[in-house]
Amino acid sequence: MTWVDVHKASIGFSQEPVLDELDLQVERGQIAAVLGPSGCGKSTLLRAIAGHLPLSAGTISIGERVLSTARGRVRPEKRGVGWVPQEASLFPHLSLRRNIGYGLRSAAERASRVDELATLVGLSRLLDRRPDELSGGQRQRAALARALAPRPQLLLLDEPFGALDRNLRNELRTDVAELLRDQEATALLVTHDQEEALSLADRVAIMREGRVLQVGTPREVYERPVDPWVANFIGETVELPGDLIGDRVQTPIGDFRGIGRAPDGAVRVIVRPEWIRLDADSALRCRVRSVQYAGHDALVEVRTESGFELTARAVAPNFPSPGDAVTVSIERGVLIFPV
């Protein structure tokens, strides 16, 4: 069931469209992520949904309520929308307990709801502390608990992990996903971090220049991107020229099954590094040029005897060294796009 419906939404500043007839739907109880480069309009979209920016065209609805049109909008405090910004904006003079319960009017509900959420975010022993006595991760957990306390119809998360270090970011990401699903919350996350969107969301919307280019499950947008830009933005790629005949594509490194739609003839071929297998039972001989070590895996650049360069992802501990002779193969079909 569609719960949040952004329909043909447009916003322009200085004659330039920041949102350009954007369409996006989020189902009830779903965690959706909007993923895109800086300046594509992600935060503008969130501010419009929250009611802080007017639309020049289109509509924004939650449930059966139309909240924004070109003619006007419901005020932010009347929308039932929660907000978690990049840096936790807690009241510095209030205890954690009072911060979490700030949006609750009933004293009885406030006590039980604060205790419930503090336990869920792992802060139940810190409720009497002020924000300056908490770590960055604890403050962000508190901001999430405060946003969830009134049981909002929609929770907006604006790059909520961006100010945290990598290890804490990964830990908090897992905890946030569990909490949102435990609370059956509908959430919309904005991020420029591909790993964050793919690991946290049920559905991912890829955004560029004020428009949504593709919406799908994390696996769909990664394995079946709609165009080369999405393919390159969502993860590492290797690109080759190809010639499509039916469902087979001929490339300088072999003949493969084509995944996608394109007319017969010249096509762009894109492969993910993890689809390329090293030391396979293959006649394609290569020489290792470089190894970018990353601990659990490595990106291995190789050059074929005919001079084409490929990048494969190798898994520890089977890392070759520069100069090694290897054979490679592609373990599945390849992505094809019109030239």
Instruction: Specify whether 116 is located in the same domain as 70.
Output: yes
pLDDT for residue 316:
84
pLDDT for residue 200:
93
18-44 exposure pattern, b = at least 16 Cβ within 10 A, e = fewer:
bbbebebbbeeebbbbbbbeeebbbbb
Instruction: Specify whether 172 is located in the same domain as 54.
Output: yes
Instruction: Specify whether 277 is located in the same domain as 296.
Output: yes
CA–CA distance, 56 with 64 (Å, rounded to integer): 21
Listed in sequence order, the residues at least 6 apart from 58 whose beta carbon sits closer than 8 Å to its beta carbon are 6, 7, 8, 9, 10, 21, 22, 69, 70
Q: What is the CATH number of the domain that holds 70?
A: 3.40.50.300
Instruction: Specify whether 277 is located in the same domain as 167.
Output: no
Contact by Cβ (8 Å): 96, 117: no
Instruction: Specify whether 157 is located in the same domain as 95.
Output: yes
CA–CA distance, 242 with 258 (Å, rounded to integer): 10
Q: pLDDT (tens digit, 9 = 90+) per residue, 212-247?
A: 999 999 999 999 999 999 999 999 999 999 999 999
Q: Judging by beta carbons within 10 Å of its beta carbon (0-12, 13-18, 19+), is residue 279 exposed, middle or buried?
A: middle
330: its two tokens:
């592609």
Instruction: Specify whether 169 is located in the same domain as 138.
Output: yes
Domain boundary among 173, 203, 229: 229
Kindly give the confidence (pLDDT) of every residue in the chain, 339 residues in length, as a single tens digit, with 9 standing for 90 and above: 899 999 999 998 766 779 999 999 999 999 999 999 999 999 999 999 999 999 999 999 999 999 999 999 999 999 999 999 887 789 999 999 999 999 888 888 899 999 999 998 999 999 999 999 999 889 988 999 999 999 999 999 998 887 677 777 888 888 889 889 989 999 999 999 999 999 999 999 999 999 999 999 999 999 999 999 999 999 999 999 999 999 999 999 999 999 999 999 999 999 999 999 997 778 899 999 999 999 889 999 999 999 999 999 998 888 999 999 999 999 889 999 999
Instruction: Specify whether 260 is located in the same domain as 118.
Output: no
CA–CA distance, 308 with 139 (Å, rounded to integer): 50
Instruction: Specify whether 254 is located in the same domain as 112.
Output: no
6: its two tokens:
């952004």
Instruction: Specify whether 198 is located in the same domain as 263.
Output: no
pLDDT for residue 14:
62
Give the other-Cβ count within 10 Å of 104's Cβ: 18
Instruction: Specify whether 213 is located in the same domain as 313.
Output: no
Instruction: Specify whether 224 is located in the same domain as 265.
Output: no
Instruction: Specify whether 93 is located in the same domain as 14.
Output: yes
pLDDT for residue 240:
94
Q: What is the CATH number of the domain that holds 277?
A: 2.40.50.140
The domain tally of the chain equals 2
Do the bridges between strand 203-208 and strand 31-35 make them parallel or antiparallel, or are there none, so unpaired?
A: parallel
**Single pTM value for the model:** 0.90
Q: Which domain holds residue 314?
A: 238-338
pLDDT for residue 161:
82
Tokens 């499950």, residue located? 217
Domain boundary among 199, 229, 259: 229
